[in-house]
Structure 1
Amino acid sequence: MSKTITRTVRNSARAFAAAGLAVAALATGTTGAHAGTSAGFVNTSWGDYHTDWADEGLISTTQHSRSGAAGLWQMVLWLDGYLAESDVDCQFGPKTQAATKAWQARYLGASEADGVVGPKTFGRASQNLMSTDNGFSIQYHSKYLGRDKFTGRYFFDTAYTHGFVNADYNSSTNCR
Structure 2
Amino acid sequence: MRKLPDQVVADKDYKSSSAFALLWNLCRDFLPEKIMEDFDVFLDHCNMVRMKSGQGAASEFIAGEGVGTHGEYMVCVGDAKFIFQDAEMAPPSGVFGQNYSSSTHVEYQPHMYTLAWTVRRDHPSDAGGHFYIRTYGICIQAAANSLVVWRPADVHGTSLQDLDPHFSHPP
TM range (shorter): under 0.3
With a CA cutoff of 8 Å and minimum separation of 6, indicate the structure with the bigger relative contact order. Answer: 1
- TM-score, normalised to structure 2, is 0.27
Q: Which has the higher helix share?
A: 1
Q: Which has the higher strand share?
A: 2
- TM-score, normalised to structure 1, is 0.26
Structure with larger Rg: 1
